[in-house]
Structure 1
């Protein structure tokens, strides 16, 4: 039985948790999978893992540079708009994950509803992020490390490679170890983004109303008003900043409450991520001493904080960013490795490869899935085209959410009898808005990103067709 504390609140015993874990394992069996990953995480664990993936300090202090480069100070407006869209996406994710509580995250949700070619496109856009983003984060760490230690003479690529391997090694251990490391680093991040908000209060330089309603961008060294076309083109890159809350769905097979609690976890993560990213971003622009120098800086928010709080803030920010970048890479490797594991379990890959990728190691983690991410990420560290891939990550994220919205819309139509432990309110408005918003964001991208998206989709469909050579049309999910 559950015990009571002195306040009368119910406390869970080990037996309660074991019973809930067993019930969640039964839910997994109903959709055709065996319970192999250990169920040891509670809702707050999963939310913290998602916050580590969202990585507020990384998002605010580093990733926003690309958004400001495209849309100028409209980066703030884009983030405010995106905060609303993110909540709608979270509602779609929560319902789909409760119907199909697989560790494959967005890929598994889409695969459970939409045709397989679309699931493959989702998978490729989903997993490629787990290769590109960690590589870029590790290179970012080196920049801030050398700012802290100017005498560090080791090459950037070598340091980044070592850090990538260290994070990969942690990602292969028990999920609680990675969660514990992430929670500690997340606390450091919250302190750092708090400094950005303090900077705006201590030394406000820009009119908050103008920041939101009269955005400007840098063009030829001169500030010009943001046009509607530029504003729309800013939305997809902004997805790369306010992202990561969906990682909750990647740990659903390790969540004690399973399908019952996943909706609550993903909505909570989306709300917290929006607050921890949008508010400091807004504050950072308000604290900007000069918009020309701010928008031309590699790390605009860092410049604003240093100007407002002095040199000591630079050291604090550097430490926070290093922690955030490592934190984000670690969680991404944990999350996307589970997506690879799920796709291998579904039989998508050639048998000699899929057998390894579907294995669980002695720590009950998808170790080979982590290896499958680390090897190409290590190669990317030495590529000069990584900057383009980082910005393109926003397009990949928008593509994934486009298909998630479609799946959430069609799920209620095609799977009318499915049990839905979490039901989104106001259906079908959330998925319709998500599909419309992400679809428009994708269509308004520049030609190089559109071509990149089409090439990735073509490769995914080609791999789906090729997979017919080794697949017998059956899978553990029944598709």
Structure 2
């Protein structure tokens, strides 16, 4: 007997909590976060990057509790925009949706562009970084439309390989300890070629970058409808994902700083990981590690593409678009059982962003979007129980409302500082997204029965 064809608008529940954790942690891609994102934190705060990552982990736990409570109470593949709509209304839902959409659009090319260096190291080639990023992003979108259970296995296996690459850094760093542990708690930075004390303001300023490296743990909520338990395990999936991500990233970062032959040279280096590998390893080891890192980034983008597909699928089901697009986005592939058109929606614009020439600018704008979305989640976590008493909140974050309040304060502080440092182009882009959200809600949103009932 042949299996029944997948029903459009309905995701088939196939995932266990462990499967969701595997996909979620892979989407965070701890290895590429350490190799691609952490160097920005080291450039910002020197050895204070360690404290930045610790503070970001504490703040991320507050967000994780918010995600866990919201994900259990408002189970939906739409995630953040659904929570904002249900707690604060349709206008907030549309604005959050566009912010999340922009964030998901930028993350794949940012990661792919940063990873091209490691492909060239692994192969001993000089491929153009933009071409490599384009190929990686395009291939990730094509693989992302396959059966999610298959992708859970693929991402899980690749995750083990990237952890193995990070263990090499851990072994080299701690096995060749050159710096005292005090450098972790007494931040140092290079200023005008001289190593000196790093101000706490620099450490706090790098917390946003550290949050970017952890970002994605909340993506577990996007697979609530794919879970065999009906989404009951969402809080566990979010918290386990964050715990694993922090452990996998913080340990090699610590080893990196402790194992630096010269802290001054490492902080000044544009490639601190390469500096450690060349100091304590050999060319073969460097190539193997670089190959592992490149594979991890590829793996991460596949996992992120899966999440993108769920968000777009949900937006079509909630009729956020014109009727033709809504029908297309809710179409489930008969063989792969995935929302394939929804998954491919951002493929072309995301691939084209690979040709952006400034990785630092793309990263800073993405961090701004991430912190803005975190602020929205924190506000939803703070007010959901109060404003939506009709919804059962079966998972309660500890000591509510304190974690949500701390999350609001932390995200607000970071957003204020990032906003003051942001370029006028970035700020105008965000204002443009808000303006578009007003237009969309004033047209399709108010006419959408599905969105109004959401």
Q: Which residue in the other structure is 1:310 paired with?
A: 282
Matched, 1:291 2:263: yes
Alpha-carbon distance in 2 for matches of 1:83, 1:191: 22
Q: Describe the shift of the 1:89–1:76 C-alpha distance in structure 2 as closer, same or farther (beyond 3 A).
A: same
Matched, 1:371 2:341: no
Given that 1:337 and 1:370 are in contact with CA atoms closer than 8 Å, whether structure 2 keeps it comes out as yes
Encode CA deviations 1:25-46: one digit per residue, 9 max, x unaligned.
Answer: xxxxxxxx99611100000000
Given that 2:118 and 2:293 are in contact with CA atoms closer than 8 Å, whether structure 1 keeps it comes out as yes
SS of residue in 2 equivalent to 1:218: strand
Matched, 1:46 2:20: yes
Is there any run of 5+ residues in structure 1 with no aligned partner, and where?
A: 1-32
Alpha-carbon distance in 2 for matches of 1:460, 1:311: 46
Given that 2:141 and 2:347 are in contact with CA atoms closer than 8 Å, whether structure 1 keeps it comes out as yes
* Counterparts of residues 91-170 of structure 1 (less than 5 Å): 91-151=65-125, 155-170=128-143
Alpha-carbon distance in 1 for matches of 2:330, 2:452: 14
Q: Which residue in the other structure is 1:339 paired with?
A: 311
Alpha-carbon distance in 2 for matches of 1:451, 1:93: 31
Q: Which residue in the other structure is 2:57 paired with?
A: 83
Encode CA deviations 1:128-175: one digit per residue, 9 max, x unaligned.
Answer: 2222121122223332222222345x5433333222222111101110
Matched, 1:208 2:204: no
Alpha-carbon distance in 1 for matches of 2:201, 2:115: 33
SS of residue in 1 equivalent to 2:449: coil
The alpha-carbon deviation at position 416 of structure 1 amounts to 2.1
Q: Which residue in the other structure is 1:388 paired with?
A: 361
Encode CA deviations 1:59-82: one digit per residue, 9 max, x unaligned.
Answer: 112211111122222111011111
Encode CA deviations 1:167-197: one digit per residue, 9 max, x unaligned.
Answer: 1111011101211110111001111111222
Instruction: Pick one of 418, 434, 440 that aligns with 1:445.
Output: 418
Q: Which residue in the other structure is 1:474 paired with?
A: 449
SS of residue in 1 equivalent to 2:78: coil
Segment of structure 1 superposing worse, 235-244 or 302-311: 302-311
Higher helix share: 2
Q: Which residue in the other structure is 2:3 paired with?
A: none
Alpha-carbon distance in 1 for matches of 2:358, 2:320: 29
Q: Which residue in the other structure is 1:221 paired with?
A: 193
The alpha-carbon deviation at position 461 of structure 1 amounts to 2.4
Given that 2:167 and 2:252 are in contact with CA atoms closer than 8 Å, whether structure 1 keeps it comes out as yes
Runs of 4+ in 1 over 4 A off after TM superposition: 450-453
The alpha-carbon deviation at position 465 of structure 1 amounts to 2.2
Alpha-carbon distance in 1 for matches of 2:101, 2:351: 15
Alpha-carbon distance in 2 for matches of 1:305, 1:208: 20
Q: Describe the shift of the 1:242–1:403 C-alpha distance in structure 2 as closer, same or farther (beyond 3 A).
A: same
The alpha-carbon deviation at position 220 of structure 1 amounts to 2.6
Given that 1:237 and 1:395 are in contact with CA atoms closer than 8 Å, whether structure 2 keeps it comes out as no
Alpha-carbon distance in 1 for matches of 2:133, 2:254: 30
Encode CA deviations 1:293-328: one digit per residue, 9 max, x unaligned.
Answer: 212223313322442333333122101111111011
Segment of structure 1 superposing worse, 332-341 or 221-230: 221-230
* Counterparts of residues 36-75 of structure 1 (less than 5 Å): 36-75=10-49
Q: Which residue in the other structure is 2:149 paired with?
A: 176
Alpha-carbon distance in 1 for matches of 2:179, 2:418: 29
Tell me the TM-score normalised to structure 2 length: 0.92
Matched, 1:421 2:394: yes
Alpha-carbon distance in 1 for matches of 2:285, 2:184: 24
SS of residue in 2 equivalent to 1:217: strand
State the number of aligned residues.
Answer: 445
* Counterparts of residues 455-466 of structure 1 (less than 5 Å): 455-466=428-439
Given that 2:47 and 2:183 are in contact with CA atoms closer than 8 Å, whether structure 1 keeps it comes out as no
Is there any run of 5+ residues in structure 2 with no aligned partner, and where?
A: 1-6
Given that 1:125 and 1:456 are in contact with CA atoms closer than 8 Å, whether structure 2 keeps it comes out as no
Q: What CA RMSD, in Å, does the superposition of the two structures yield over aligned residues? A: 2.1
Instruction: Pick one of 378, 397, 400 that aligns with 1:405.
Output: 378
Alpha-carbon distance in 1 for matches of 2:303, 2:167: 22
Q: Describe the shift of the 1:192–1:273 C-alpha distance in structure 2 as closer, same or farther (beyond 3 A).
A: same
